Amino acid sequence: MLSLKPTDDSEEVVVHDPEPATPHRQGKGSVSTTGRRIWSKLTTTPIVGLDIGTRMLKAVVLHRVGDKVKLGSIAYASTPQEALTSVVLTDSVAVSEHIRSLFRDYRIRAKRVAVSTGGGDKVLCQTERLGWNSAEERLALIEQSVASTIPYSFASAAVSFEEIEQSGEGDGVLFWAGAPMDRLDWLRETVVLAGRKPAIVDTEASALANAVIYNYGPEPTTASVLLHVGVQKVVIGLLVGERLEYARSSRLSRIGPDQVIVPFSDRITQAMDGLWETIQQRAKPLDLKQIYLSGGPVQVEKIGEVVHARSSLPVIEVNPFREIDYSPATEAGTLAQEGGSTFTVAVGLALRGFKNL
């Protein structure tokens, strides 16, 4: 995944990030033609993946030593509820103070932080197969695709894209991601106020893909669903091999059309139903093979059983530390074993962060 940038950061309408968007980790039989691995060079410099949620702040520190990724520490704390306005974090000062306290309490000294942007159903990712005759035409096609998809003004969007597969001299597969610019500005301001450097701003869906790809290495000819469950929203994505094809965030409504409070598990399946046909269509000619499930409420609410009953697909509860070295005897190791799925986004962000060190 590429770092999101505002569309007015340069003279071009859409900013092209030179780092490859996908796959996040090259593996055997990868469908990508970028030929790059997640690691740009050997380094032991730590990176922090920071997941700023409406209920919880979650941080994971990873180190790379040789060809291994090692867990440094895991930290979590409640998000200040006074920072919320209509279920959206708006008080950057209050949140930054909690981040400072979190890092201080857990003795996290790393300055570089990878974060993901929120924005509810306004954060979008998808691939497009397009044909163009020039770089200018390619930019125009991307602008047209993004503008016709995002539910807000293109002028107020932060957009990045990357060519991930070449079909011919003038066409190929492009991956783009878009998010509201004001949310990115808020996110960067909050991290800076906390005394840290926002090294990478990514989407939650891309972070989820990073964690799944690194730990499970999906086969190139398989189509899998990503489903990340939060208290207020879900993120649903389509992973084809090691490429994120499509992703959407959906806010969970507590009240149904008949003004009756909807049980939490029903809200999850309603969100799935709203995107399921699109996911299946985009996966063709492949059939969906499995669902990678993650998120804080997963174990408590037994969401896996509900999702399996609804989809008839095998459900794999993601362990984002599956291929990461750690000592079970440490505090971080205990958290990794007991609540690993909760930290999937934070782990995926930290893995993405190694790329630019």
Amino acid at 345: V
Q: What is the pLDDT of residue 119?
A: 65
Whether residue 39 has pLDDT greater than 80 = no
Burial tier of 199 (Cβ tally within 10 Å: 0-12, 13-18, 19+): buried
Instruction: Please compute the mean of the pLDDT values over residues 266-282 and round it to a whole number.
Output: 92
The pLDDT confidence band at residue 357, using thresholds 50, 70 and 90, is very low
Residue 315: closest CA among 303, 330, 324, 300: 303
Give per-residue pLDDT as tens, 66-102. Answer: 778 999 999 999 999 888 887 788 899 999 999 999 9
Asked if 114 and 199 touch (Cβ cutoff 8 Å), the reply is yes
Instruction: Please compute the mean of the pLDDT values over residues 255-259 and round it to a whole number.
Output: 62
Place of tokens 């066409």: 171
Asked if 48 and 60 touch (Cβ cutoff 8 Å), the reply is yes
Give the whole-number percent of the chain exceeding pLDDT 70.
83
Q: What is the pLDDT of residue 3?
A: 56
Burial 236-263 (b: 16+ CB within 10 A, else e): bbbbbbbbbbbbbbbebeeeeeeeeebe
Give per-residue pLDDT as tens, 170-187. Answer: 678 888 999 999 999 999
Instruction: Please compute the mean of the pLDDT values over residues 117-121 and round it to a whole number.
Output: 74
Q: Which of 9-18, 110-119, 277-286, 319-328 has the lowest mean pLDDT?
A: 9-18
Question: Does domain 15-217+318-356 sit in CATH 3.30.420.40?
Answer: yes
Q: What is the pLDDT of residue 168?
A: 64
Tally Cβ neighbours within 10 Å of residue 342.
22
Asked if 122 and 152 touch (Cβ cutoff 8 Å), the reply is yes
Which is more confident, 165 or 19? 165
Q: What is the pLDDT of residue 256?
A: 61
Q: Which of 114-123, 160-169, 210-219 has the lowest mean pLDDT?
A: 160-169
Q: List the chain domain ranges.
A: 15-217+318-356
CA–CA gap between residue 44 and residue 58 (Å, rounded): 22
CA–CA gap between residue 128 and residue 176 (Å, rounded): 8
CA–CA gap between residue 191 and residue 196 (Å, rounded): 6
Tell me what the pLDDT averaged over the chain comes to: 82
**Structure-block tokens of residue 180:** 């509201």
Helix axes of 344-353 and 204-216: crossing angle, nearest 10 degrees: 80
Instruction: Please compute the mean of the pLDDT values over residues 287-299 and round it to a whole number.
Output: 91
CA–CA gap between residue 36 and residue 199 (Å, rounded): 20
